[in-house]
Amino acid sequence: MTASVASHPEGDRTITAPQAVLSTPARLLIAAWGIFLGLLPLPLASNRPLFWCINAVVAGCFVAAVALLRPAPTRFDGLIRTGLALSALLATALLGWMLVQALMPLALGSPLADPIWAAAAEALGEPLTARITAAPWQTLLAALRFATAAAVFWVTLRLATHPGGAAALLRWLMWASAAYALYGLVLNLMGSSTILWFEKWAYRDSLTATFVNRNAAAAYFGIGLLAALAEAICAVRRRSATSLAYLLLLLVPLAILANAIVLTGSRSGAAATALAAGVGLLLLVSVRRAPVLIVPLLAVMLVGLALATLHVSGAHLMARIEADGGSGQSRLWLYRTVAEMIAARPLTGIGAGTFQLVFPAWREPGQEMFLIWAQAHNIYLELAVELGLPAAAAMLLLVMLLMLMCARALRRSESDWHVALFALTSWLLLAVQGLVDFALQYQAITLTAAAALAMGIVSAAKPASEPARPRQSR
């Protein structure tokens, strides 16, 4: 078969490689894994403890199945192997810290213990064994969710190394997200205010499909749009009649996803998606040295799509942009309060997954009592308040390390570098939106994003039989 490669940043060229054959077990597992990833948003974005447990069991079964599967004969360069080893150590340390928060017994007077234990012991009139966290069960659930994300990353990493695995999963995520967006558009056109068979209890004027929160829905549709953009880039650079027909076909999911994002009314989701798409085009120029005509062509296509979408579906989003409704002042008060919580317990945190339970105790009398803050509306602050500053820094270091490996894959990959581009832009979307929202706290998005990172890193893998190519001087 022919594959487009970029062994040198100056441009792409075409080489001939032998056609690799997927074994039947590998083919079946990749298909089943794609179905699992595609179904994640269906049960209310997997944002309920029951679905957390179901996803953990399913991911564990895939871990066992993939462990029995013969690994693909591929290899990574030394830097990516080192990065994966460091990532595994960081992930293990973070999971261990969550378990320590939940399970380590402490005396009531210990400075590490949450003050709620002493208050509870006094109220009950009997001694209690304290913990770092205020709610051990919630922290254990948070540890389960983190372990599930790690399992999804590992399974995707193993399956995507098989020939065509990463590209197949990317296409599956694109079409799955487009299907959810289409479902939301149909409900919107019908004037329905339901989620599946439930009547909506929030965001009744916004398109959310199977999500409850419009910002999370916009983030998921944004990830799908970036997957479609990566596919479009791949089609454009092939420059064949077949790829041109596929490019025209890709206008369908692009249009569906763009309209869905706008109709969610999510300002942060729309802005973060636009920024991520723009950065993706810049990466084509700066890293991949794309041919001169590709970037303008894609830019015109995206700008035209954006203008058409805003013209057709943008009334709700524009109304929300114009109206603030006092939310800015509320967020500033929230961030100040969260900063005080971090200062009170900077090293140990309040316990993973406990923000919603602990935050009401920090309200001042008569202040914002009409609002219920289940999240800090900033993933970085919430990480710091729940895990403590050292563990939060380790979590951010873990994500940055994985993104750096994706960046290396984008530069060095020979055939599937558009998958690495998708992974980087998806996480840029989530990182930017995370400054004011909390889409990553929805497990459907967390697991999809974990799979995207693994797919991006795998795009740098080479067949084990291929000899190492010496670096060319520039």
* pLDDT range class, residue 253, cuts 50, 70, 90: very high
Higher per-residue pLDDT: 265 or 145: 145
In percent, how much of the chain has pLDDT > 70? 84
The DSSP code sequence of 152-168 is: HHHHHHHHHTSTTHHHH
Mean pLDDT confidence for 22-46: 89
Asked if residue 19 has pLDDT above 80, the reply is: no
Mean pLDDT confidence for 170-179: 95
Question: Using the 8-state DSSP alphabet, how is residue 20 labeled?
Answer: P
* pLDDT range class, residue 316, cuts 50, 70, 90: low
Among 18-22, 40-44, 414-418, 449-453, the minimum mean pLDDT is found in 18-22
Tokens 């069960």 locate to: 137
Asked if residue 456 has pLDDT above 60, the reply is: yes
Per-residue pLDDT, 468: 46
- The per-residue pLDDT of the chain, averaged, comes to 85
Asked if residue 472 has pLDDT above 80, the reply is: no
Cβ–Cβ < 8 Å for 25, 192: no
Per-residue pLDDT, 10: 37
Q: Where are the domains of the chain?
A: 35-326+373-462
> What are the b/e assignments for 335-350, b being 16+ CB within 10 Å?
eebbeebbeebeebbb
Token reading at 133: 């966290």
Cβ–Cβ < 8 Å for 461, 20: no
- Residues facing 456 on adjacent strands: none
Mean pLDDT confidence for 80-99: 96
Mean pLDDT confidence for 69-92: 89
Per-residue pLDDT, 241: 66
Asked if residue 470 has pLDDT above 60, the reply is: no
Per-residue pLDDT, 273: 94
Per-residue pLDDT, 16: 33
Mean pLDDT confidence for 392-401: 97
Per-residue pLDDT, 59: 97
Angle at CA 102, nearest 5°, toward 97 and 103?
95
Per-residue pLDDT, 286: 75
CA dist 153 and 141 (Å) reads 19
Per-residue pLDDT, 327: 59
CA dist 297 and 233 (Å) reads 10
Among 101-105, 152-156, 274-278, the minimum mean pLDDT is found in 274-278
CA dist 36 and 129 (Å) reads 40
Per-residue pLDDT, 198: 85
Mean pLDDT confidence for 450-455: 96
Asked if residue 5 has pLDDT above 60, the reply is: no
Per-residue pLDDT, 293: 62
At 156, give phi and psi (nearest 5°). -65, -40
pLDDT tens for 399-409 read 999 999 999 99
Q: Which residues contact 267 (CB under 8 A, 6 or more apart)?
A: 317, 320, 321
Which stretch, 36-45, 408-417, 446-455, has highest mean pLDDT? 446-455
Mean pLDDT confidence for 62-75: 86
Per-residue pLDDT, 314: 65
Per-residue pLDDT, 312: 65
Asked if residue 294 has pLDDT above 80, the reply is: no
Per-residue pLDDT, 9: 38
* pLDDT range class, residue 44, cuts 50, 70, 90: confident
Mean pLDDT confidence for 14-22: 44
Half-sphere exposure of 305 (CA within 13 A, CB side): 25
* pLDDT range class, residue 371, cuts 50, 70, 90: low
Angle between helical axes of 267-286 and 417-433 (0-180°, round to 10) = 140
At 372, give phi and psi (nearest 5°). -110, 115
